[in-house]
Amino acid sequence: MYDDLFQAISTLVMHHSPSGVEGEIDQYLLAQFQARGLECWLDAAGNAIAKIPGSGAGAIAITAHKDEIGGIVKTVGSSGRIEVRRLGGAFPWVYGEGVVDLLGDRHTLSGILSFGSRHVSHESPQKAQQEDKPVRWEDTWIETKRTGVELEEAGIRPGTRMVVGKHRKHPFRLGSHIASYTLDNKASLAILLELATVLKQPALDTYLVASAKEEVGAVGALYFSRNQPLNALIALEICPLSLEYPIVDSEAPVLLSQDGYGLYDEGLNHEIRQAAAVAGIPIQLAAISGFGSDASIAMKMGQVARAACLSFPTQNTHGYEIAHL
């Protein structure tokens, strides 16, 4: 099972999907849903949706966002240097210097995220990065060694998305763990696809939603939950491992009671805990901050009455993440 899951996550990771430019993974997800014999479609907000008909009245949605964090081009310089700013919760010091991919309108070009030389004195701004402060996006650039004409022909422009280069993205196996960029939330997509395989004849219509643009405000989930009446919405997510939270690195998933956007529904959480007990699955409980999900944002905005978030413990969130398979 771990081998299959590692391969499934690896395949998903290698499909770029920065917020708002998610077409590469959309086609893969729709093909996977179709292969499982499910009715599926892309909605106007870019959500990739599969429906499993239920035996009774009502509907629930289970979401796993398909977008990833990265950068967005601010300026294309005449010397082939490109300035970017963050897209979602991305920090340049997490990525480090190295290859990034620029997803142009016509071609993807690679460049080097650069911080400047280290062999410098206080006369150079890079000196402060060695001693006084973390590297900010404003301190960095992408070196492409391309002409302005070449960049224009590729469709590199303000608004172009930047992500970690594919040759740096290949996940790494650590025994029963996986280490990779974008486990947030490609690993949850793997869970969603597994659910699409095993879930048969649910009690309610069940929408499996690979949601769009979650990292920039849960845009896709808000659109879907506004247009589709739901009894409940459950988000599949990462959960940050940190000393401030009573969570351990293990197989046991985490059920959230609260995050930075507000409370989850206690009644729905109780039902999930009961179901876990019947299935013999241990559940960890947590209230965390500096975090939001499709579910908490939709509930806060009044789009759904009941919401929950099931997550897996993850180290180095929004970085080179590590989680138990």
CA 322 to CA 55: how far, in whole Å?
38
Q: What is the pTM of this model?
A: 0.94
CA distance to 33, 38, 190, 272, per residue, from 197 (Å): 9, 9, 11, 21
pLDDT band at 119 (very low <50, low <70, confident <90, very high): low
- pLDDT higher than 70, residue 123: no
Contact of 172 with 320, CB cutoff 8 Å = no
Q: What domains sit in the chain, N to C, each tagged with a CATH number? A: 2-68+182-324 (3.40.630.10), 70-168 (2.40.30.40)
CA 15 to CA 24: how far, in whole Å?
6
Mean pLDDT for 183-208 is 96
What is the pLDDT, as a whole number, of residue 107?
97
What is the pLDDT, as a whole number, of residue 98?
96
- pLDDT higher than 90, residue 294: yes
Mean pLDDT of the chain: 95
pLDDT, one tens digit per residue, over 236-278 is 999 999 999 999 999 999 999 999 999 999 999 999 999 999 9
What is the pLDDT, as a whole number, of residue 118?
67
User: Residue 125 is which amino acid?
Assistant: P
